[in-house]
Amino acid sequence: MELSACSLRDKLRRDLEADHVEVEDTTLNRCATSFRVLVVSTKFEGKSLLQRHRLVNECLAEELPHIHAFEQKTLTPEQWTRERQK
């Protein structure tokens, strides 16, 4: 399986209809086994953090077993706007 920041970004953007996705390879040597993602999607509206993270986990169900470390942040477009104004 191809595991890259790029492939993860594409998948999250497509499946979660995300407005904005950031994927960072957090592996020291960029060996693409640890990632930090930020996903901004209207699909998160009215959902708890747990429900949001579950959506991301489901989206990447195929990849996650191959990922050593995974951090995620899930925001609605409104929260994302507020975050950027900080």
Partner 1 sequence: MSGTLRRAAAALLRWGRGTGGIGLQGAGVRAAGSGSGSGSGGGQAEQLDALVKKDKVVVFLKGTPEQPQCGFSNAVVQILRLHGVRDYAAYNVLEDPDLRQGIKDYSNWPTIPQVYLNGEFVGGCDILLQMHQNGDLVEELKKLGIRSALLDEKKDQDSK
Give the residues lining the site for partner 1 (CB under 8 A). Answer: 49-50, 53-54, 57, 61, 64-65, 69-73
Residue among 31 and 69 whose Cβ is closer to partner 1: 69
Where are the alpha helices (H) located in 36-76, listed in sequence order?
Answer: 49-59
As measured in angstroms, the least distance from the Cβ of 70 to partner 1 is: 6
Question: 39 exposed, middle or buried (CB, 10 Å; 0-12, 13-18, 19+)?
Answer: buried
How far is Cα 8 from Cα 19, in angstroms, rounded to an integer? 15
Residue among 6 and 49 whose Cβ is closer to partner 1: 49
Phi, psi for residue 60 in degrees, rounded to 5: -110, 25
As measured in angstroms, the least distance from the Cβ of 57 to partner 1 is: 6
Residue among 2 and 48 whose Cβ is closer to partner 1: 48
